[in-house]
Structure 1
């Protein structure tokens, strides 16, 4: 019997139990599931609720319907590729010009008919575009001078109140005055780096790490120390402790929840230990929590900021990965560095876009965001399982892959002799875009790795693209 005290819909509870049995291999590929009528009787639910449970599992690619026969398990977790291992970055200077690769990949940003596995944002078809349009039109009507005037430097008041309210989801207790709005999360990170470092300083980061952060850090004259990173738990505080002993580190930067590109989620006890360690050494932590709302489990993971008692964590986020990438609405809670960040924003941009901030603020205030996130998480979780299954089937044996519990990203490690930049160029001839692994380090690493985004609707075109990508990889054998 299902637990009626739980707040989830009954069909989600039932489908979750079946999914757990599939993942633990209690139910194996080819096993027949109870008929819809039998499932209905077993759980004392309606036939339509039983069908919803099976539709939900079918949408994730875990089961399939066979005409005149019923539902059968079609997913075998044992057939998934092996997991990638902890990275051990060497600190040699990179000889290859990675900017060329990044420029080439992102020049294809808007090319038509390209299956864009390279882009780590949700596709428009899974976003609430009509409601966003209404929110924008309402903002233009409600704002003074139809949104053409400057906002205050710290940012839209309603938006900061909503971000503060939303912080309760991850154990935060932010106030509106703790927050500065920015033009997306990368802009927030940039302000933080400029606020707490100067040219010649060294910062420590996970590895692999988002290329935008690496490139910006180098552009302002910072040295970057890449730390070993576990694909499940991220950077170990013991590795940070060793780095602090051996290097004059002025700041750390970590993507703590469902990182880009490795996909790890740092456990809560590790986050707490990290905050405590860095506070003891007086080293600030810039936390990129861009993907925290896109979790596949029962609840949102906490952020390092929730353990911060001294204002030493600069927490950055935005709606670029969940709601509206092009609106460029983000924010930062910079703790004791609030004054410095506000001054930098004033010097660099004066204020943030007025209408976009107001539209996103009203979207969050009405409860539409929570409703949208529930649907988005279901879609992305289903996509992740379909991608894992397709890669296990289409790619050659022996590859390794991350196992994300949230976010948009899969990190795939191919045979050592495969150059994924060359693979990218071959794939683009078939209108398939990937992100070569060399983009995610400043050193000669990850040339045989690639990042794939599953932030789109699963379609026959996506399935064909993964099959073709597998064929191209097999050609290297």
Structure 2
């Protein structure tokens, strides 16, 4: 009978987790309170907790109690590994991107489209204090040109942060940029020429596509697993068939898939590219937003010849409006530094010094400890709502970090038509064709989960599901 009771309690707690009473990262009540709630003994609750821990529903934290694990208990069925055509192509159809991201500035719009975190997820007060301290901490310098490679104080803090990603680099190896997008463009210009072939994941972040299109280059899509990322075997075959000049990849919580390559796969991909002499431009803007510790290492951690051009930013963590990014371009540093000067001369002084101050005071680590759980809960809520209200047969990714969700709808649902219908009702989406150089993924959408969970947001998600069901037939 005792066994039945603890299993019953475990099932009841698991149901509460599934129903959202306790979300990912939430602390469960203490054993005595749970014992009173269920009318059982403390020993029965302890046995139930051990069972839930074995099942992966909760986890113990020393001297703190039990917490709901940040990974969902019943993962959704993910999309299948992509199978692109396997030949280089010009990038087209990117004009839509501007319309989608512009919707992020419309206050009346429900923001499911652009991957921009709402202010509620950001350390606004801490940044305000850091900004106010800049004139005192850096007298006179806050009005100067911070010429490349950028303020040494900021580069020092960035170098310390990159150690958490397995990268042992000095501040002299870093070039500060206006966000990660400039770092990506500069890195691409440093290693490739117009007309060259650039390897990408499929699907991939539209910012990478715009960088390739803007330089007159060709994109070569490689099959990509929604959990593990790019296929090393397919990459090796592409390198044999085509004169690839560079690879642009997002190994950690890539956008839009949310995949995170294993350390073994990162090592294999880096070694393969190094063997062929192909530079890797790594976009790691979501690396700090792993739902569970430890932070995954960057692909750059496995390089041996300085061929990985690492691009990072604080836009997804501290604030999109700061536009503080950087490149750690390895052996291409001098070239990137010159291109940075030629393109925009310098970076804004105030934001760079403010970020250096915020990081130096330890505020960034404290903030990350909180926001990782916030994003995990946000993604879990959106995922649960999609599972409940979108058409039968809908698949969705299972990201372990970041705050976007990639959703595969039934083939009869045209994502562009769905985008237009939702936009007419004040809801912004990111349709799948934005994430392909030839506008594939016509029945996919990407959802931004980094919004406050309230009645309006939940209703918007449900309405998108209704519109999709109408088109699914």
Which category describes the TM-score, using the shorter chain as reference length? 0.7 to 0.9
Q: Taking structure 2 as the reference length, what is the TM-score of the superposition?
A: 0.86
Equivalent runs, 1:341-380 vs 2, <5 Å: 341-380=336-375
Unaligned runs of 5+ in 2: 1-9, 23-27, 36-41, 47-60
Name the CA distance, whole Å, in 2 between partners of 1:354 and 1:31: 45
1:384 to 379, 391, 407: 379
Tell me the SS of whatever aligns to 1:445: coil
Compared CA separation, residues 459 and 153, structure 1 to 2 (3 A):
same
Compared CA separation, residues 141 and 282, structure 1 to 2 (3 A):
same
Name the CA distance, whole Å, in 1 between partners of 2:32 and 2:209: 56
How far 1:426 moved relative to its partner?
A: 0.8
Larger CA deviation: 120-129 vs 277-286: 120-129
Tell me the matched-pair count.
435
Alignment partner, residue 399 of structure 2: 404
How far 1:279 moved relative to its partner?
A: 0.8
Compared CA separation, residues 364 and 31, structure 1 to 2 (3 A):
closer
State whether residues 81 and 399 of structure 1, in contact with CA within 8 Å, keep that contact through their aligned partners in structure 2: no
State whether residues 358 and 364 of structure 2, in contact with CA within 8 Å, keep that contact through their aligned partners in structure 1: yes
Q: Taking structure 1 as the reference length, what is the TM-score of the superposition?
A: 0.85
Alignment partner, residue 150 of structure 1: 145
How far 1:416 moved relative to its partner?
A: 1.1
Alignment partner, residue 112 of structure 2: 117
Alignment partner, residue 287 of structure 1: 282
Compared CA separation, residues 323 and 289, structure 1 to 2 (3 A):
same
**Is residue 418 from structure 1 mapped to residue 413 from structure 2 by the alignment?**
yes
Alignment partner, residue 314 of structure 1: 309
Name the CA distance, whole Å, in 1 between partners of 2:221 and 2:122: 35
Tell me the SS of whatever aligns to 1:185: helix
Alignment partner, residue 463 of structure 2: 468
**CA deviation map 1:224-270 (0-9, x unaligned):** 10111000001121111100100000110100100001110010001
Runs of 4+ in structure 1 off by over 4 angstroms are 25-36, 38-43, 91-97
Name the CA distance, whole Å, in 1 between partners of 2:380 and 2:185: 34
State whether residues 84 and 401 of structure 1, in contact with CA within 8 Å, keep that contact through their aligned partners in structure 2: yes
Alignment partner, residue 255 of structure 2: 260
Larger CA deviation: 371-380 vs 145-154: 145-154
**CA deviation map 1:12-31 (0-9, x unaligned):** xxxxxx89x95xx9998799
Compared CA separation, residues 26 and 356, structure 1 to 2 (3 A):
closer
Tell me the SS of whatever aligns to 2:256: coil
State whether residues 204 and 227 of structure 1, in contact with CA within 8 Å, keep that contact through their aligned partners in structure 2: yes
Compared CA separation, residues 30 and 106, structure 1 to 2 (3 A):
closer
Unaligned runs of 5+ in 1: 1-17, 44-48, 63-74
State whether residues 93 and 444 of structure 1, in contact with CA within 8 Å, keep that contact through their aligned partners in structure 2: no
Alignment partner, residue 331 of structure 2: 336
How far 1:388 moved relative to its partner?
A: 1.2
Tell me the SS of whatever aligns to 2:94: helix
Name the CA distance, whole Å, in 1 between partners of 2:328 and 2:91: 36
Tell me the SS of whatever aligns to 2:198: strand
Tell me the SS of whatever aligns to 2:254: coil
Compared CA separation, residues 28 and 128, structure 1 to 2 (3 A):
closer
How far 1:370 moved relative to its partner?
A: 0.5
**Is residue 301 from structure 1 mapped to residue 286 from structure 2 by the alignment?**
no
**CA deviation map 1:96-135 (0-9, x unaligned):** 9623422322232211221101121221112111111111
Alignment partner, residue 457 of structure 1: 452
Compared CA separation, residues 443 and 28, structure 1 to 2 (3 A):
closer
State whether residues 82 and 398 of structure 1, in contact with CA within 8 Å, keep that contact through their aligned partners in structure 2: no
**Is residue 139 from structure 1 mapped to residue 134 from structure 2 by the alignment?**
yes
State whether residues 92 and 437 of structure 2, in contact with CA within 8 Å, keep that contact through their aligned partners in structure 1: no
State whether residues 189 and 286 of structure 1, in contact with CA within 8 Å, keep that contact through their aligned partners in structure 2: yes
Tell me the SS of whatever aligns to 1:228: strand
Tell me the SS of whatever aligns to 2:184: helix
CA RMSD of aligned residues (A): 3.0
State whether residues 88 and 197 of structure 2, in contact with CA within 8 Å, keep that contact through their aligned partners in structure 1: no
State whether residues 93 and 443 of structure 1, in contact with CA within 8 Å, keep that contact through their aligned partners in structure 2: no
1:106 to 98, 101, 106: 101
How far 1:163 moved relative to its partner?
A: 0.9
Tell me the SS of whatever aligns to 1:266: coil
State whether residues 147 and 341 of structure 2, in contact with CA within 8 Å, keep that contact through their aligned partners in structure 1: no
